[in-house]
């Protein structure tokens, strides 16, 4: 099924989307089942993403990246998720969270250093969540003690995407707990720093190849030069970057739903019951029609939010709408399409089974559906966010 929204894209964007789609079909699709089964990425997958430039989309060309737009990142995430949402998550976190944060808040020296690393093969991770700081993102227990030209970090983080693969971590810790969220500061922590360890990787329902890890900071000394943004302004780095990241999750869910629908369309054209292709039954056709319509509506919400971002226009409410609706649609479409496969859809040999498992996280990470709805409501009522 060709991309139904290609008419919304410029010629360069359409070519880029087709290129990523071809890459995903040829390079990723043969490896999806193995990576899901083993719960880890094959090394060649990460290498191929770097080689394609998909992990440095918005990094300036002068620093080794593609110098492209945020919207291009959204297209890449969607096309990758159509084949494997786990791979799309790596692209998403790298581009919409880590690179975006450094691009917006990093000084010239930090951008020079860290962008070259990220464009040259390093994976980034975004370490905000903790055991007691999920939806209440600023209830951080992780502490940073100021000592002259460096800070000392103590604490732990949970559910950190890319933790197993990352070399750079954007870590949020509080330097002044008495000041509440105004003490939160963002630090760039590098793998290998003394006192930094990754003791545990989660065993998950879905997006299993994507690593989700616990991080432990036991007296990690971080130079002052690796503070991203101002001390005490990490809350702004966190919340504003997550607003962008939610558009990326929306794109991931759109791609997932596309993959589920394409698989079901192929199956119903071939499967026969009662002497007819099941695609000829009205009940099946109407389910497909509903799925396709909801998918297109989700895509339009995601694209609108991304275009507003690139135009420098306010997009907070639109990002929340895109993330909320696309995650709802992805789970619903994945479930509907699995049922169209019948009994085989409930087995591991069917790609629909994996996509349904992968869809569940869309309502949870980077702001639950409850948080998105609350954000939308506050915006509508003119309340502070």
The reported pLDDT for the residue numbered 138 is: 86
Distance of CA 109 to CAs 21, 133, 317, Å? 35, 31, 33
Rg (CA), the chain: 21
Q: How far apart are CA 244 and CA 92, in angstroms?
A: 10
Q: What is the pLDDT along the chain (385 residues), one digit of tens a residue?
A: 555 555 589 999 999 999 999 999 999 999 999 999 999 999 999 999 999 999 999 999 999 999 999 999 999 999 999 999 999 999 999 999 999 999 999 999 999 999 999 999 999 999 999 999 988 888 999 999 999 999 999 999 999 999 999 999 999 999 999 999 999 999 999 999 999 999 999 999 999 999 999 999 999 999 999 999 999 999 999 999 999 999 999 999 999 999 999 999 999 999 999 999 999 999 999 999 999 999 999 999 999 999 999 999 999 999 999 999 999 999 999 999 999 999 999 999 999 999 999 999 999 999 999 999 999 999 999 997 6
Q: Domains (ranges, CATH) in the chain?
A: 6-123 (1.10.540.10), 125-232 (2.40.110.10), 236-380 (1.20.140.10)
Residue 270 CB coordination number (10 Å)? 9
Active site residues: 366
192: left (phi over 0), alpha (psi -120 to 50) or beta: left
Contact 325, 251 (CB under 8 A): no
**Token pair for 152:** 């000392």
pTM of this structure = 0.96
- Rounded to 5°, the CA angle 154-155-157 comes to 140
Contact 172, 133 (CB under 8 A): no
Q: How far apart are CA 324 and CA 370, in angstroms?
A: 9
Q: Which of 325, 327, 355 is nearest to 264 (CA)?
A: 355
The four Cα atoms 248, 111, 168, 39 give a dihedral, to 10 degrees, of: 30
């Amino acid at each position: 099924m060709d991309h139904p929204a290609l008419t919304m894209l410029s010629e360069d964007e359409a070519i880029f989307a087709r290129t990523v789609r071809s890459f995903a079909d040829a390079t990723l699709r043969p490896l999806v089942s193995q990576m899901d089964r083993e719960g880890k990425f094959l090394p060649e997958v990460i290498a191929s993403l770097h080689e394609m430039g998909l992990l440095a989309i918005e990094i300036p060309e002068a620093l080794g990246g593609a110098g492209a737009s945020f919207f291009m990142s959204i297209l890449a995430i969607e096309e990758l998720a159509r084949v494997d949402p786990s791979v799309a998550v790596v692209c998403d976190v790298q581009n919409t969270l880590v690179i975006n944060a450094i691009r917006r808040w990093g000084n010239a020296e930090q951008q020079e250093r860290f962008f070259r690393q990220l464009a040259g093969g390093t994976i980034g991770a975004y370490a905000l969540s903790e055991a007691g700081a999920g939806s209440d993102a600023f209830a951080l227990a992780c502490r940073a003690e100021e000592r002259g030209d460096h800070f000392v970090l103590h604490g732990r983080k949970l559910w950190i995407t890319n933790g197993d693969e990352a070399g750079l971590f954007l870590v949020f810790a509080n330097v002044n707990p008495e000041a509440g969220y105004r003490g939160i500061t963002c630090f760039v922590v590098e793998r290998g720093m003394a006192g930094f360890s990754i003791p545990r990787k989660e065993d998950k329902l879905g997006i299993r190849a994507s690593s989700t890890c616990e991080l432990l900071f036991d007296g990690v000394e971080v130079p002052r030069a690796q503070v991203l943004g101002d001390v005490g302004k990490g809350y702004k780095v966190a919340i504003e970057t997550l607003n962008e990241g939610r558009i990326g999750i929306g794109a991931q869910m759109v791609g997932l739903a596309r993959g589920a629908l394409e698989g079901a369309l192929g199956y119903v054209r071939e499967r026969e019951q009662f002497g007819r292709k099941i695609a000829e039954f009205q009940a099946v056709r109407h389910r497909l029609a509903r799925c396709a319509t909801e998918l297109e509506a989700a895509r339009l919400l995601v694209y609108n939010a991304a275009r507003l971002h690139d135009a420098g226009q306010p997009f907070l409410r639109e990002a929340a709408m895109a993330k909320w609706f696309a995650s709802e649609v992805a789970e619903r479409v994945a479930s509907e399409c699995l049922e169209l496969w019948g009994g085989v859809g409930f087995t591991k040999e069917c790609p629909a089974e994996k996509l349904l498992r992968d869809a569940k996280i869309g309502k949870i990470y980077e702001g639950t559906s409850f948080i998105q709805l609350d954000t939308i409501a506050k915006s509508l009522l003119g309340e502070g966010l």
